[in-house]
Structure 1
Amino acid sequence: MAVAGTDLQLRLAPPWLVADLGRERRVLSFAPHRPGFRSARHILIRQVRDADLTPDLDAMAWLGAEMARIGHGGDVGMMTSRALRHYRLAQAGPAACLATVGLGNAERVGRRRMVQPRGYGTINIALLIEGGLTDAAMIEALSIVAQARTAAVIAAGIELPTGRATGTGTDCIAVACDAGGTGFAGLHTALGEAIGAAVHDAVLAGALEWVAKHGTEPAGAVPGCAGA
């Protein structure tokens, strides 16, 4: 699937969702596989079952081995227990956002739940910006992605004993672009506005779909079904 106005191409081949960035790009992320500043052509999301995520599993090593097995060891990788068919895509100007949204692991920022949820659920975001950014602008862009994610989750209305959810305990963000001279991506810039709009729209659509099935109290979800 091609995303109009960008070089982004999506390929859904369960248990993988592959975002082809069109060419090798700079990627900044805190993904479990190849985090930090990297160069990569693809960002992958691997679907796992809740039952696979046992306490003794070295998830990062396992994901790395899985990606190497399919020839993507040099790319950036994330994991989700959300069924990949629920992915959401949104675009605004030069920004295209791919998101998978599960909220079974929801948290309120600054007030973590002391009793851990019974299921898994995370928000994965891969953002492609068609433009060349400096390191500082990429970091700023990542902060805008986090703001937009948080605003969308708040709007979805997930109520926890600690307050309204603002994200999950295992959210992951990756920002991809070319190297270039654009030095700012804040809320007052056209680029920052586009980033925020694309991410907010994709995450909110995914969150509302999740809420429609599971309700606004994720602690009541059935164990093992957070990704359904």
Structure 2
Amino acid sequence: MLDLSAPWLSFALGQPMPVLSWAPHNGGLVTAERILWREVRNADLTEDLDVTDWLARELAQREDRRAVCFLTSRKLDAHVTATETQDGITATAVVTAGLSNAERIGTRLPQTWKVWGTINIALRLSAGLTLPARIEALSLVAEARTAAVLEAGVTLPSGAATGTGTDCIAVAAPEGHEMHCGKHTAAGHAIGRAVFEATRRAVADWQRDAARW
């Protein structure tokens, strides 16, 4: 399911399925067999670099242009996975987290660095969803992410951080007939538990690492 071969982390979905995201490569609603992370450093991203084109070329070299792909400055071996099953529906979340780019919703701090910390979350759900339910599932991932960041107690001049300025989420689920995916549903419960736990642990790991820097 997960394969780490730096600078890439691959999350195989098991079959081609719809993936909804705003990922820097293949965002929107697409069909994909895997979700990837590409680890980057400042040296990778020069001032004159077209990052979108560069990432597309990187993916072409590994014959993976149809994958959905995140960018992260977090070391990929710090990824965290959590799985939750509720009433036969399974949600698996894979998270990388860094908060050097932490923000509070509705505020914007001045940015003085190029490779920012970010939270990237990939979710695979076993239940087949309609498009409205898929959008609702994505909103639950964002809510669970925010709850985990708030619990971590990262404080900014404007108040408690609610995420970072460059967070990205991708939700994969088969086509299906489920019209709803709210917190009262089995799918919504599984999503919330899996994403919250994986994000909580990933953020705590980053906080421990940051304390040593």
Aligned to 1:107: 103
Please give the secondary structure, in 2, of the residue aligned with 1:181: coil
1:62-211 equivalent positions in 2, closer than 5 A: 62-93=54-85, 94-113=90-109, 115-118=110-113, 120-211=116-207
CA apart distance, 1:117: 4.8
Alignment counterpart, residue 23 of structure 1, candidates 10, 15, 19:
15
Aligned to 2:53: 61
Q: Is the 8 A contact 1:92 1:197 kept in 2?
A: yes
- 1:114-163 deviation per Cα after TM superposition (whole angstroms, max 9, x unaligned): x2154510111000001210000000000000000000011111111121
Amino acid at match of 1:206: A
Aligned to 2:4: 12
Q: Is the 8 A contact 2:127 2:187 kept in 1?
A: no
Q: When the two structures are superposed, what TM-score results if normalisation uses the length of structure 2?
A: 0.94
Amino acid at match of 1:50: N
CA apart distance, 1:50: 3.2
Amino acid at match of 1:91: T
Give unpaired runs (5+ residues) of structure 2.
none
- 1:170-205 deviation per Cα after TM superposition (whole angstroms, max 9, x unaligned): 111000011000111111111111101100000110
Please give the secondary structure, in 1, of the residue aligned with 2:173: strand
Please give the secondary structure, in 2, of the residue aligned with 1:214: helix
CA apart distance, 1:55: 4.0
Q: Is the 8 A contact 1:50 1:120 kept in 2?
A: no
CA apart distance, 1:75: 1.1
RMSD: 1.4
Distance in 1 between residues matched to 2:47 and 2:142, nearest whole Å: 27
Amino acid at match of 2:145: R
Distance in 1 between residues matched to 2:193 and 2:53, nearest whole Å: 34
Q: When the two structures are superposed, what TM-score results if normalisation uses the length of structure 1?
A: 0.88
Q: Is the 8 A contact 1:145 1:195 kept in 2?
A: yes
Alignment counterpart, residue 45 of structure 1, candidates 37, 43, 60:
37
Amino acid at match of 1:45: W
Distance in 2 between residues matched to 1:126 and 1:52, nearest whole Å: 23
